[in-house]
Amino acid sequence: MPIFEYLCKDCGRTFEALVIGSNQPECPACHGRQLEQMLSTFSARATVSLGSGPAQAPCGAPASACGSGGG
């Protein structure tokens, strides 16, 4: 049961929906069905190549700033 992210073309709201089988989701705000499936942000991964610079925490600070101990 995948979770998809959608953009409602009627009201412009973005939302996530659990899609079961062939059910078509609807916008929770306006109940529109003119939806565009979007790329979910959790499915994209950043890669770090060796030698590209110091390790960065998710917030953009050096990794040691997050208390990881190894900088």
pLDDT averaged per 10 residues, the chain (length 71): 88 92 91 89 55 58 57 50
Q: What's residue 19's pLDDT?
A: 85
Q: What's residue 22's pLDDT?
A: 85
Residue identified by tokens 């190549």 is 49
Task: Please tell me the class of the 1-41 domain.
Answer: mainly beta
Reported as type and span, the H/E element at residue 30 is none
pTM, two decimal places = 0.52
Neighbouring C-beta atoms of residue 18, cutoff 10 Å: 10
Terminal CA-to-CA distance of the chain, rounded, Å?
39
Q: What's residue 66's pLDDT?
A: 59
